[in-house]
Amino acid sequence: MIPLSEAQSYVLKQIEPLPRTVVPLKNALGLVLTESVVSTETIPPFTNTAVDGYALRSIDTVNTPVTLNVVETISAGDDKNINVGPNEAVRIMTGAVMPAGADAVIMVENTRLLKPADSLESALTEFNSTTISTSTSNQLDLERVVISRTVQPGDHIRHAGDDISAGQIVLQAGTPLQPGHLGVLASIGCYQVATYRRPRVGVMSTGDELVDEPIRLQRGQIRDSNRNSLLGLVDQAGFIGVDLGIARDNEDDIKSVLQYAINECDAVLSSGGVSMGDYDYVKTVLEQLGEMRWMQIAIKPAKPFAFGLVQGIPVFGLPGNPVSSMVSFELLAKPALRAMAGYDADALGPFTIRAVSQNTLSHPRDGKTHYIRVFTKHSEQGTLQVARIDGQGSHQLATMAQANGLAVVQDNLVINPGDVVDVIPLNVFMNGFT
């Protein structure tokens, strides 16, 4: 048996990032930038208000309450040339261009609008004050606004360029694009993105016993579950799954499915036919077509594993047992597919988090690291806790489906209740750890 790290580095050494391509922004989620992105635009493009309220001269609010004449209204998107003079205010909506002359905005919540019909006395009562100053007479001939508190210069103003300045590098080459990145790219008008190609990953099952139709099983038959879980894992990791179907246990069938896969895909995941006792069909064909290494890895589940390049295409020979194939994907295939997608070496995973075990986690010494299915949840104190799930057989897929993590238990390790254990989270996109 070889250590997992040896198998992982054996695989990664042979992996190259896929060719570069330019994709529309809307197709870029999860793809990795090949070039840093420099903004040609200033964001925000113009100085604007962060709130709904009134743009004014802060100097006019030194003594409050004060009434100001409402001379205009500016909405987001308006392009009005307005100047705010002494004792004037402009009603302004969030995102609207700041008018000249104004140096602050007061939130609408801290004002009261007086219609021409309103009496000045009502405003005085409202603010419990007798010191309202008006610019002209006591007659309300136009809209006025009562300002109840002093504002400081710059209040609620978003300055042009305070998010992004023109010429600034907004995203570095090598960034895997997350939803926020897509928003940033859109905000600077970058609608075409230079990335590595998204890997197309073929998934094939092997075995005469496998059924994938809604028919009654004959004795000896089982249903093909691996293709479904593996295609799901491929999709979830942000790659494109290509369903290659089932190759039966004969050389011709395996050869034709593989040949198709090599032509159509950037990588191939095959499950079954890699353990010691297996008939040699998968092995024979892969040996004929490419350079494979057959490994026994010191882990449980997922001990048997094969990897090699077939006509330059990485082929992963995952174990047939349903849980093993998924664990093998997490530990060996996913990091390699990320490398093909252009992820940095320190962003390949698998990543672990630390959680408090509720159970004893250990195993009789067998030279292997065990990946134990656990359910992770938050305790009332907010810490992460894991509970072991019963049914750890490598065929017991139902418990794998129940699990949301794999606790990593080295051969000589005994985790007692209350101890901290490393856990590989499942069903979570963990990029961003690095």
Q: Residue numbers of the site for ligand AMP (CB under 6 A)?
A: 205, 207, 209-210, 222, 224-227, 271-275, 278, 319-322
CB of 93 to ligand AMP, least distance (A): 59
**Binding site partner of 224, from ligand AMP, Mg ion, none, Cβ cut-off 5-8 A by kind:** ligand AMP
CB of 242 to ligand AMP, least distance (A): 16
Asked if residue 230 lies in contact with residue 318, where contact means CB atoms within 8 angstroms, the answer is yes
CB of 404 to ligand AMP, least distance (A): 22
CB of 280 to ligand AMP, least distance (A): 11
Six-digit token pair at 430? Answer: 């963990």
Which residue, 268 or 415, has its beta carbon nearer to ligand AMP?
268
Q: Give first-to-last CA distance, the chain, whole Å.
A: 30
Which residue, 317 or 342, has its beta carbon nearer to ligand AMP?
317
**Binding site partner of 357, from Mg ion, ligand AMP, none, Cβ cut-off 5-8 A by kind:** none
The stretch among 29-37, 84-92, 271-279, 382-390 that binds Mg ion (CB under 5 A) is 271-279
d(CA 235, CA 203): 11
**Binding site partner of 222, from ligand AMP, Mg ion, none, Cβ cut-off 5-8 A by kind:** ligand AMP
Crossing angle of helices 251-264 and 281-289, rounded to 10°: 50
Figure out which of the listed residues 202, 207, 238, 241 binds Mg ion, where binding follows CB under 5 A: 207
**Binding site partner of 334, from Mg ion, ligand AMP, none, Cβ cut-off 5-8 A by kind:** none
CB of 339 to Mg ion, least distance (A): 28
CB of 249 to ligand AMP, least distance (A): 8
Which residue, 53 or 273, has its beta carbon nearer to Mg ion?
273
CB of 5 to ligand AMP, least distance (A): 24
d(CA 85, CA 91): 14
Which residue, 94 or 275, has its beta carbon nearer to ligand AMP?
275
Q: Going by DSSP bridges, is the β-strand pair 88-92/369-378 parallel, antiparallel, or unpaired? A: unpaired
Q: According to CB under 5 A, which residues from 273 to 302 bind Mg ion?
A: 273
d(CA 394, CA 420): 25
Which residue, 94 or 296, has its beta carbon nearer to ligand AMP?
296
Which residue, 24 or 277, has its beta carbon nearer to ligand AMP?
277
What does the buried/exposed string (b/e) look like for 346-384 if buried means 16 or more CB atoms within 10 Å of the residue's CB? Answer: ebbbbbbbebbbbbebbbeeeebbbbbbbebeeeeeeeb
Asked if residue 255 lies in contact with residue 247, where contact means CB atoms within 8 angstroms, the answer is no
Which residue, 207 or 335, has its beta carbon nearer to Mg ion?
207
**Binding site partner of 209, from Mg ion, ligand AMP, none, Cβ cut-off 5-8 A by kind:** ligand AMP
Residue 272 interacting with Mg ion (CB under 5 A): yes
Which residue, 135 or 275, has its beta carbon nearer to Mg ion?
275
Q: According to CB under 5 A, which residues from 313 to 342 bind Mg ion?
A: 320
218 burial level (CB within 10 Å; 0-12, 13-18, 19+)? exposed
**Binding site partner of 226, from ligand AMP, Mg ion, none, Cβ cut-off 5-8 A by kind:** ligand AMP
- Residue 294 phi/psi, 5° resolution? -100, 125
Asked if residue 394 lies in contact with residue 140, where contact means CB atoms within 8 angstroms, the answer is no
Site residues (vs Mg ion, CB under 5 A) = 207, 272-273, 320
